[in-house]
Amino acid sequence: MSKINQLTEAEQEILEFIKTIPDPEVGVNIVDLGLIYEVDYETTKKQIYIAMTLSARGCPVGDTILQHVHTVVSNMYPEHEVQVDLVWEPLWTPALITEEGKATLNHSF
């Protein structure tokens, strides 16, 4: 499993595609919000695994965000099997937001 700060070049490219997905509530992309925990690219098995979380358990648009990730990655890698898992460990905290995310957060209105 590749943690978010130890990605290969191919996994980093997948992360860049995921970066096009905004959180509908705050308008910041979900990578900069720190919601993506792992991206794993099994080249030989043609499998992509993504572990992600949400900023709150009851997030009303949580399911749609997960679906969004699945659709975008599946579109980019049609010959691959894509799995997106929602995890609650470790629990998301605002400390996971990147500096870019914090900047966008405060300039989005």
Question: d(Cα 104, Cα 106) in Å, to the nearest integer?
Answer: 5
Per DSSP, helices labelled H in the chain are 9-18, 62-76, 99-105
First vs last C-alpha separation in the chain: 37
**How many residues can be counted in the chain?**
109
Check residue 21 for interaction with other proteins (CB under 8 A).
yes
* Residue 106 engages other proteins in binding (rule: CB under 8 A): yes
Per-residue x/- mask for other proteins, residues 50 to 89, rule CB under 8 A? -----xxxxxxxxxx-xxxxxxx--xxx------xxx---
Helix %, strand %, coil % for the chain, to 5? 30, 20, 50
**Please, which residue, 4 or 18, has the CB nearer to other proteins?**
18
Select 6 or 16, whichever has its Cβ closest to other proteins. 16
Query: Which of 27, 42, 81, 100 lies at the binding interface for other proteins (CB under 8 A)?
Result: 27
Tell me which residues touch other proteins (CB under 8 A). 9-10, 13, 17, 21-22, 24-27, 55-64, 66-72, 75-77, 84-86, 93-94, 97, 102, 105-109
